[in-house]
Structure 1
Amino acid sequence: MYPMKLKPVYDKTIWANDRLTTMRGMEEKGMGTCWEISAHPHAKNVILNGEYAGKTLDELIQADPQSILGEKQLHQMLRLAYLDAREDLSIQVHPYDEYARAHENDEGKTESWYILEADKGATLVAGTTASDAAVIKAAVENDQVEDYVRKVEVEAGDFVCINAGMLHALGKGILALEIGQNSNTTYRFYDYHRKDANGRERELHIDKSFDVADFGLHCNKVATPFTDADTTQEKLLVDRREFSVRLVDVAGSYVLPQDEKRFYCLSNVSADCVLRYQGEELPFAFTENIFVPAGCADIEICGKARVLVSFVR
């Protein structure tokens, strides 16, 4: 096995910016979501390099789960995607595992966001200022939802973890990498009364939102300012049952240890570098994400770059 580059899957959205596609030299506009690593039915990424080029990651998992996932199961697979927001995303909530499996034939969705770029003063929603569901229900009935959301100002390098059940929304002017569970289930709670291309407001999912929401949940950001250190620095950003994310500021080299028990997802969030493995080199460009199967030999990241290492412990 070897580190795999995957073909991104882009989704047009009503709130999209063009930061990511511009960075990548693309002419396409309005691509708000870009699925980078996924084996979810909504977006099955195709492998671009090596022996398995042309196959989907999902096909590889089905054919040889041990070599791809190690000791992990398909429901523990991670999903990585970029969110590129010109306008605020809807205020929304994701279900936890049991509810999603019972009602949506999907996994729950705890997720995290790493902020690549943010306009000055940009904010995201992470929880509410009232924990009483009756208060929030009255706010919905009186069209006062915006009065009860908890906003967090963010800048490049910040990281937040969004629990399933937490009301949240990415704000306008932010480009974020989303790392989370293998799910595509979202309940839209409030959408600012904006209209789609046909002049209609988008559907809300109020009943299901109240089924799964915990209005006592909120989160704080983890700041990770860039440094110019001469040695490689590591920081564990989140360590949960669902996933862990380690930030590595590579200064020269960093060896990703392998024990064949788990897969890794590598995200380059700062500058071009190179992966070395089994006597070969693989360019690893800024904004690229690479899937490392459990059966892959040790990988060395070479250069000066910030890389997020996502895995299930």
Structure 2
Amino acid sequence: MLYPLKFNAVFKDYIWGGRNFQKLGKRLPEGIVAESWEISCHPDGVSTVANGSYEGLPLPGLVKKLGRKLIGCELPDSALEKFPLLVKLIDANDKLSVQVHPEDQYAAVNENGELGKNEMWYIISAKPGAKLIYDIAPGVTKASFAKAVGKNKIEACLKYIEVFPGDFLNIPAGLVHAIGEGIVLAEIQQTSNTTYRLYDYNRTDKNGNKRTLHIEKALDVIDFDGAGRKEKYQGLSIKIAESCYKTYKIANKYFCVELYDINGTIEENADGSRFCLYVFIEGEGRIEYQGGAEYVSQGQSVLIPAFMGGYHIRGNLKALKSYVPDLNKNVLEPLENAGYSKEDIFKNVSGLE
């Protein structure tokens, strides 16, 4: 029987982390915890099932065992070979390095067949005045940026934006970015761990060593033509039940992310087309499916197998739902059917432009 799958988190102790995941109900190991890989099939941090009959099975083994029953019949064969999405929580107790990620083609050639890394962020909490780096400053060229890097004066070439709880940000490959201190966020991304570091504030690790930079590759992949792009999008909402709404926030060929605001009961259907992931960011409730129910609360993540069938989510909670979309079928058509024009959709849903 297929059921909502929970996983044991994989914790990372990078130097900029803290202890803020405790506020999300996480039971942490001692010391710094920077990232919690919630659902991951990447070799750098493989999730294992934490509940039900598949408890203890690593996610790659589950994909191999269940195949399209888990992944879905409408995703390409590549999704069976590499589970396409990875979910993280990030605790930026200190600022992260300034970095950029490659697209698929560049990563395949230069990173031994690794996927590129398109990602998105949802700001769970942010201290007053918290900022992050989003893009290079308008007017910065590859030549001027390379010169600034050489002189260790990169910060003047970057665009800083203030963020608040509830903000969504699309981070496409090629976008220079960095999370600032005092921010806890959820990240949904392609299954990749390829990061090109440009600047790390001259920090050293616990052994006194500076972290490796990847200047040449970073300059290869930065999207200098996209400087000045819009950062935050409102999203478009659809009523799905009494006092329950979903808002389409970010949609591209790699993932769609919707914000579910549930105050009551909604009905969903895993119809065999594709799996989906939920990250529960506020409140508590339960997922009721044929054969049982699974309690969910803030800080937990769940994978819904593609062929699980109909299910209900009951409670008072907010969640991020993500999946690999057919953009016409899963995004454009539902929004147009709800009365939104194409102009509205492209103006308000990030990633479609």
TM-score (norm 1): 0.95
Q: Which residue of structure 2 lines up, in the alignment, with residue 221 of structure 1? A: 232
1:269 to 267, 277, 281: 281
Contact 1:21 1:31 in 2 (8 A): no
Q: Which residue of structure 2 lines up, in the alignment, with residue 57 of structure 1? A: 59
Distance in 2 (alpha carbons) for counterparts of 1:131 and 1:200:
30
Q: CA 1:65 to 1:279, structure 2 compared with 1: closer, same or farther past 3 Å? A: closer
Contact 2:94 2:182 in 1 (8 A): yes
Q: Which residue of structure 1 lines up, in the alignment, with residue 100 of structure 2? A: 93
What is the correspondence of 1:68-87 to structure 2 with a 5 Å cutoff? 68-71=70-73, 72=75, 73-74=79-80, 75=82, 77-87=84-94
Q: Which residue of structure 2 lines up, in the alignment, with residue 109 of structure 1? A: 117
Question: Is 2:17 the counterpart of 1:16?
Answer: yes
Contact 1:76 1:312 in 2 (8 A): no
**CA apart distance, 1:17:** 1.6
**CA apart distance, 1:216:** 3.1
Identity over the aligned pairs, expressed in percent? Answer: 34
Residue identity matched to 1:53: E
Contact 1:17 1:85 in 2 (8 A): yes
Q: Which residue of structure 2 lines up, in the alignment, with residue 168 of structure 1? A: 177
Contact 2:50 2:56 in 1 (8 A): yes
Q: Which SS does the other structure have where 2:52 is aligned? A: coil
1:35 to 34, 37, 44: 37
1:236 to 243, 248, 253: 248
TM-score (norm 2): 0.84
Contact 1:274 1:282 in 2 (8 A): yes
Distance in 2 (alpha carbons) for counterparts of 1:202 and 1:164:
22
- Between stretches 203-212 and 279-288, larger displacement belongs to 279-288
- Between stretches 88-97 and 126-135, larger displacement belongs to 126-135
- Between stretches 233-242 and 68-77, larger displacement belongs to 68-77
The number of residue pairs the alignment matches comes to 309
**CA apart distance, 1:166:** 0.6
Give the unaligned 5+ runs of structure 1.
Answer: none
Distance in 1 (alpha carbons) for counterparts of 2:55 and 2:250:
32
Residue identity matched to 2:153: Q
Q: Which SS does the other structure have where 1:272 is aligned? A: strand
What is the aligned-residue RMSD (CA, Å)?
A: 1.6
Q: Which residue of structure 2 lines up, in the alignment, with residue 4 of structure 1? A: 5
**CA apart distance, 1:152:** 1.3
Distance in 1 (alpha carbons) for counterparts of 2:161 and 2:62:
40
Distance in 1 (alpha carbons) for counterparts of 2:177 and 2:266:
34
Residue identity matched to 1:125: I
Contact 2:270 2:304 in 1 (8 A): no
Contact 1:161 1:219 in 2 (8 A): no
- Between stretches 166-175 and 131-140, larger displacement belongs to 131-140
Distance in 2 (alpha carbons) for counterparts of 1:192 and 1:185:
20
Q: Which SS does the other structure have where 2:257 is aligned? A: strand
Distance in 1 (alpha carbons) for counterparts of 2:188 and 2:29:
26
- Between stretches 263-272 and 215-224, larger displacement belongs to 215-224
Q: Which SS does the other structure have where 1:298 is aligned? A: strand
Contact 2:120 2:189 in 1 (8 A): yes
**CA apart distance, 1:234:** 1.3
Q: Which SS does the other structure have where 1:238 is aligned? A: strand
**CA apart distance, 1:136:** 0.5
Contact 2:285 2:297 in 1 (8 A): yes
Contact 1:2 1:297 in 2 (8 A): no
- Runs of 4+ displaced beyond 4 Å: none
| Bigger helix fraction | 2
What is the correspondence of 1:156-305 to structure 2 with a 5 Å cutoff? 156-217=165-226, 218-222=229-233, 231-305=243-317
Q: Which SS does the other structure have where 1:67 is aligned? A: helix
**CA apart distance, 1:231:** 0.8
2:134 to 116, 119, 126: 126
Q: Which SS does the other structure have where 2:61 is aligned? A: helix
Give the unaligned 5+ runs of structure 2.
Answer: 236-240, 326-353
Q: Which SS does the other structure have where 2:49 is aligned? A: coil
